Amino acid sequence: MSIQAVDSPVNLMSNIDPDERAVNLVARLQHDVRIRRAAQVLADALAVRAGAELVGLSQMSPEDRDWYLSTTRSIIEIDATLAGAQPPAAQTRVALPIVASSHALILRQRGRDAAQDRGHDMGAYQPLQDGRQMSTCRKCARAVVLNLSVDPSISGSAIDGGCLSAASKDGDA
């Protein structure tokens, strides 16, 4: 299979010069490489902050890898928007408007930080109905719930209380 066969949306544009098609493909591949490098830097920074072992993106679970890639992609798109540059349409993978996705990203990180302050090890956020998202602690299953509707809020048992797994270890010591 050739590289051009993989890139079917570009190949379907028959009115574009083949040289321009190659330039578009190279630019998209370079963008994807920058996203992966930035995602690895983000993963390394969070691991160092948490005192954990550094793990490559390819060695992570698919949900963790996808979280780092989507978070990095969102941060880069937000930065491009704030700088006045519009990311190319082919590179925009976020269905939400940039402002809404940046607000959701900030709420996710605030919820994750608040839960980690209470000893939780939070997993990836999963969508719920009515514009809500939920993440659960990998150790005790307490949850952080984000309400991304008109009046955004963060709630859940992981925000209200500490990790039950960490509490039982403290009680055993």
| Tens of pLDDT, residues 78-112 | 777 777 655 544 444 444 444 456 677 778 888 88
Half-sphere exposure for 149 (CA within 13 Å, toward CB): 8
User: Which among 2, 29, 32, 4 is positioned nearest to 19, based on CA atoms?
Assistant: 4
Bridge pairing between strands 132-136 and 143-147: antiparallel
Backbone dihedral angles phi then psi of residue 155, each to the nearest 5 degrees: -150, 180
| Tens of pLDDT, residues 54-79 | 888 888 888 888 888 888 888 887 77
Q: Which of 7-11, 16-20, 48-52 has the lowest mean pLDDT?
A: 7-11
DSSP category for residue 61: -
Domain ranges of the chain: 1-94, 97-173
User: Which among 160, 73, 69 is positioned nearest to 117, based on CA atoms?
Assistant: 160
The proportion of the chain whose per-residue pLDDT surpasses 70, expressed as a percent, equals 71
- Answer yes or no: pTM beyond 0.85: no
More confident residue, 17 or 30: 30
The Cα 50–Cα 69 span in angstroms is 19
Is the pLDDT at 142 greater than 90? The verdict is yes
Q: Is there a contact between 141 and 135 (Cβ–Cβ < 8 Å)?
A: no
Q: Is there a contact between 139 and 161 (Cβ–Cβ < 8 Å)?
A: no
Distances in Å between the alpha carbon of 47 and those of 15, 32, 110, 153? 47, 22, 17, 27
